[in-house]
Amino acid sequence: MRKFRDGFSMLVAIFVIMLLSLVASYIFFASNSTTKAGTIQYQGDQAKLYARSFTEYAILAASGNDRTMPGNCISTITSNIGNNPANGQGYQITVNLTYIGNQKYIQFCTNKAAVLSNSDTDTLSVIVDVYVRYKDYQRVSASTTPASVPWITYHRRSLQKL
């Protein structure tokens, strides 16, 4: 009877150890996936904030220039934030400005969506398209060829009166 109890105790101990190892591996897997989802969300939120910030910067730059002078009309703003966006360490930002308004105010601008030539109004508007591109740095760090990791692009369009 004693040997039976020792064998049964050994089986129970093995079963409990296996059960605890399964629970520990599940906790590790859940923690890892939560961390991965958190970093993906962080990068997306950063892209949204950069798009908003560069929209305000583009409006400030467009309103600060005299568009009636040749070569003084801003149509594109580009910037890199971070060390190397192509390797997942930062963001590439491109801002395109398109002007809508009276011909006398945007005659030297190359990006024109609508020219209101017969209008006596002095309204001038600008369409601001902001593209924020980045790569998931977890996929880049796990990949042997960072160039094969696709870009993630966040686009924000806004219309603003100047």
Could you list the pLDDT tens digit for every one of the 162 residues in the chain?
Answer: 566 677 788 888 888 899 888 888 888 777 777 777 778 888 999 999 999 999 999 999 888 877 777 777 888 999 999 888 888 889 999 999 988 887 777 777 777 766 666 655 677 888 999 999 999 878 777 777 777 889 999 999 999 988
| Residues of the domain holding 140 | 2-161
In this structure, what token pair is assigned to residue 28? 């590790």
In this structure, what token pair is assigned to residue 80? 């890199």
Buried b (16+ CB within 10 A) or exposed e, 113-146: eebbeeeeeeebbbbbbbbbbbbbbebbeeeeeb
Cα separation, 159 vs 129, in Å, equals: 9
The number of domains in the chain is 1
pTM for the full model? Answer: 0.74
In this structure, what token pair is assigned to residue 66? 């005299």
